[in-house]
Amino acid sequence: MIKLPAIFALAVFSILLFGCTQTSPDNTPKGSYFEIVREGKALGDLGSKEYLLTGEGLLLRKIKVEFSGRPPLPTDISIWRIPKENAVPLMLQVRGETKSVFEECDNCATYHLFYGDSTGIKVFEAPEYKTPKFITDLPGRMEDIIKTAAREETFFASMVYSKRGIIYDYHIFGDGTVIYEEFGYSPATMANAKVQRMNTGQFFTTIPDAFFEEKDSGNGCNRDGFDYGYVEIAKGEKTNFIFTCGNGQNPSDLVFNQLMNLVEK
């Protein structure tokens, strides 16, 4: 991760960018979501725990346990549904202003919080010991919510790619929900985010079984204009993560290009 100068980052990237406000009947902005990610030692030096919740009550949990020098364990991906009224208080709390703290700490867990709605975006990043309690409490609150949430069938795709230094990140769900995020050189530089609706059902029915059996070739990205790319798919109990830019004929290349066609329509 490329770190920006602290003063510049605090001045520019840790603010809410407001446009014309559109609100729901409960006075929460439309198209709201947040994503909380904890990266840290408790899950291995490269592990992470991620939760994404939309204002409509769609909840994603991703747990990755990984240690350097060892093969990573399969990512645990699950999708849940909670009543919208239970999601609203969390949206309103997360939407509040919180300042990032950009400090190097090789032995610390790090928190990333991304929030977006029809009025703008918010980014928070800090080592765990500098993170406000209401943020460090969010993973535990998500786990408490999951205890009484309705489990959804797992159809989820993550596609991330970088073109000329701009990172494009898509979270794609089987119910048609798509979370789009756009970054500069690091997560602290989120420039855009929105919740969209797309016809995603057909994509999940066409994923070949061979994709879930494919091993990462490590060939890198040889597509003009692309810096790197990857896809991560969960379909039922099957999951796989492959680096690709769609410039070959492997199952992952075909899946990457299917997703590109889907989001670019």
Q: How many CB atoms lie within 10 A of CB 114?
A: 23
* The pLDDT value given to residue 39: 86
* The pLDDT value given to residue 100: 80
* The pLDDT value given to residue 43: 55
CA distances to 17, 21, 54, 93, 184 from 75, rounded to whole Å, are: 33, 37, 21, 29, 26
What's the token pair of residue 65?
């346990």
Which candidate, 183, 192, 138, places its Cα nearest to that of 163?
Answer: 183
Q: Alpha-carbon distance 34 to 228, whole Å? A: 25
> Hey, what amino acid is at 184?
G
> Do residues 149 and 142 lie in contact, with contact meaning Cβ atoms separated by under 8 Å?
no
CATH for the 153-265 domain, from 3.30.413.10, 1.10.3210.50, 3.30.1560.10, 3.40.640.10:
3.30.1560.10
Element (H, E) at 254: helix 251-263
* The pLDDT value given to residue 64: 85
Residues of CATH 3.30.1560.10 domain(s) within the chain? 153-265
Which residue ranges of the chain lie beneath pLDDT 50? Answer: 1-23, 25
* The pLDDT value given to residue 164: 87
CATH number of 1-152: 3.30.1560
> Do residues 36 and 51 lie in contact, with contact meaning Cβ atoms separated by under 8 Å?
yes
> Do residues 49 and 63 lie in contact, with contact meaning Cβ atoms separated by under 8 Å?
yes
- pTM for the full model? 0.83
List, in order, residues 6 or more apart from 231 with CB less than 8 Å away: 157, 158, 159, 241, 242, 244, 252, 255, 256, 259
State how beta strands 33-39 and 110-117 pair: antiparallel
* The pLDDT value given to residue 32: 92
* The pLDDT value given to residue 23: 47
Which candidate, 158, 155, 185, 172, places its Cα nearest to that of 243?
Answer: 158
* The pLDDT value given to residue 16: 37
Write out the DSSP string of 9-43. HHHHTSS----S--B-TTSPBTT-EEEEEEESTBT
Residue recorded with tokens 């970054």:
183
Q: What angle do CA 252, 38, 95 make, to 5 degrees?
A: 105
* The pLDDT value given to residue 188: 64
On the CB side of 93, CA atoms within 13 Å amount to 13
Span 236-248, pLDDT tens digits:
999 999 999 998 8
